[in-house]
């Protein structure tokens, strides 16, 4: 079954950024047990997650390694999507590098981390102002021709760069941040652009990194947890409260919970799916629950709350 077909059947995939939480890595979500992380990926597969989304950036390879361990003996694993184009510098910071040489090196590293000889989809993580998208796209499609990857996608790229990439070769998938709290991908026309071309759109951070989860409590997080620095906890905290209240009312009307209604907002529309990060077996099992269908009026209420 194609990725588009899987999304049409169940528009939820597993996000692994939190599983790659590392105190010495670029993303720190608090402590994460390695064994439970592997079990979480396996539970997500059992629950029917339509895909697994990961990246070298998540713990500098840690999340990919966790996914690789979980799927090693799982021929029923759904498509695995990883990324390229963000590299670790000598001082342990991150830099954009989507040059052909970097792309090739990144693919080889991801193959090793995942324990595979082929990756279903490799996405360019972020735009690289130093490398023409055409050069990046040609390098990725060369890897497709070699059988190293099945398809190529774009993450966080504007329409202008997506148009240029599409002129060189097919786009398998596009992802951007999109949730009840983040509507830019909707309002900028990116989602419509993808839908018009039959390209699956994946919403990352559909739960706003936890701010749209029922039992979320910022005060309970580790003091260094990256979520303390997100706008939903800072200068947009009033918007967070207003949107949570709006989505909660929608959830109550539908007889569901805030988390499920929030995922439904992020996965609203044909060809759209949500990348839902999970850190426990229970959260992974929850990925299998169906999401409610929202009306245009309910989506409009969310947009009004965002302002």
Provide the annotated active-site residues.
Answer: 58
Size of the chain in residues: 307
What interhelical angle do 133-146 and 159-168 show, nearest 10? 40
Give the distance from CA 288 to its chain's centroid. 17
Tokens linked to 183: 């509507």
The residues with which 124 forms a beta bridge, in sequence order, are 84, 154
User: Who contacts 32 (Cβ-Cβ below 8 Å, separation ≥6)?
Assistant: 18, 19, 20, 21, 22, 279
CA distance 289 to 92: 39
User: Among 37, 40, 80, 84, which residue's Cα sits nearest to residue 62?
Assistant: 37
Please give the helix or strand (H or E) that residue 259 lies within, else none.
Answer: helix 258-266
Burial group, residue 56, by CB count within 10 angstroms (0-12, 13-18, 19+): buried
Pairing between β-strand 94-96 and β-strand 86-88 as defined by DSSP bridges: antiparallel
Task: Please name the residues in contact with 139: beta carbons below 8 A apart, sequence gap of 6 or more.
Answer: 99, 100, 103, 104
Distance of CA 109 to the CA centre of its chain: 20
Query: What tokens does 181 get?
Result: 């709290």
d(CA 81, CA 62): 15
- Separation of alpha carbons 77 and 48, rounded Å: 9
C-alpha 117: how far from its chain's center? Answer: 23
């Amino acid at each position: 079954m194609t990725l588009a077909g899987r999304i049409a059947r169940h528009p939820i995939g597993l996000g692994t950024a939190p599983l790659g939480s590392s105190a010495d890595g670029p993303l720190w979500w608090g402590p994460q047990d390695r064994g439970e992380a592997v079990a979480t990926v396996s539970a997500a597969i059992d629950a029917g997650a339509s895909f697994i989304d990961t990246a070298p950036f998540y713990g500098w390879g840690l999340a990919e390694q966790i996914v690789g361990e979980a799927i090693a003996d799982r021929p029923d694993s759904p498509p695995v999507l990883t990324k390229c184009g963000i590299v670790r510098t000598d001082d342990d910071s991150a830099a954009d590098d989507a040059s052909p040489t970097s792309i090739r090196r990144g693919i080889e590293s991801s193959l090793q981390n995942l324990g595979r000889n082929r990756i279903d989809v490799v996405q360019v993580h972020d735009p690289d102002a130093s490398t023409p998208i055409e050069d990046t796209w040609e390098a990725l499609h060369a890897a497709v021709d070699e059988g190293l990857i099945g398809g190529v996608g774009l993450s966080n790229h504007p329409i202008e760069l997506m148009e240029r990439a599409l002129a060189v070769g097919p786009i398998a998938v596009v992802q951007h941040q999109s949730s009840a709290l983040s509507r830019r991908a909707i309002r900028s026309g990116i989602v419509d652009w993808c839908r018009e071309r039959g390209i699956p759109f994946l919403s990352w951070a559909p739960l706003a990194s936890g701010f749209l989860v029922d039992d979320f409590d910022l005060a309970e997080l580790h003091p260094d947890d990256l979520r303390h620095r997100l706008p939903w906890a800072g200068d947009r905290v009033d918007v967070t409260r207003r949107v949570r209240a709006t989505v909660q009312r929608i959830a109550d009307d539908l007889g569901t919970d805030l988390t499920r209604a929030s995922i439904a907002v992020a996965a609203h529309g044909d060809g759209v799916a949500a990348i839902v990060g999970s850190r426990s077996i229970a959260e992974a099992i929850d990925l299998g629950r169906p999401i409610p269908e929202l009306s245009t009026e309910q989506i409009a209420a969310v947009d009004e709350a965002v302002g």
